Amino acid sequence: MQENDKQNSKEEEKNLLDDILANALSSTKKYEETNAGLETKRCKSCGAARPEDTDLKYCDFCGDQFY
């Protein structure tokens, strides 16, 4: 009789845990990778990013000419 009680208790714990995990998974926000919308060009010499819509002629980091 005690073994049946232990078995029922374990099954109830497992069901409770399954319910908790299912709730956690269903309420977790899903994130997607998005583009920030800023286009950049990279310096050929050092690889530093430069916003595409700027008129910079020289890299701020290494001083190499962009064009």
Q: What is the pLDDT along the chain (67 residues), one digit of tens a residue?
A: 555 666 667 777 788 889 999 988 888 887 777 776 667 778 888 988 887 777 788 888 898 987 6
Whether 9 maps to a domain, the answer reads no
> What confidence score (pLDDT) does residue 54 get?
77
Whether 25 maps to a domain, the answer reads no
Whether 33 maps to a domain, the answer reads no
At 59, give phi and psi (nearest 5°).
Answer: -70, 135
> What confidence score (pLDDT) does residue 7 get?
65
Whether 62 maps to a domain, the answer reads yes
> What confidence score (pLDDT) does residue 38 get?
66
Residue span of the structural domain in which 51 resides: 41-66
Q: What SS3 class is residue 35?
A: coil
Whether 13 maps to a domain, the answer reads no
Number of domains in the chain: 1
Whether 15 maps to a domain, the answer reads no
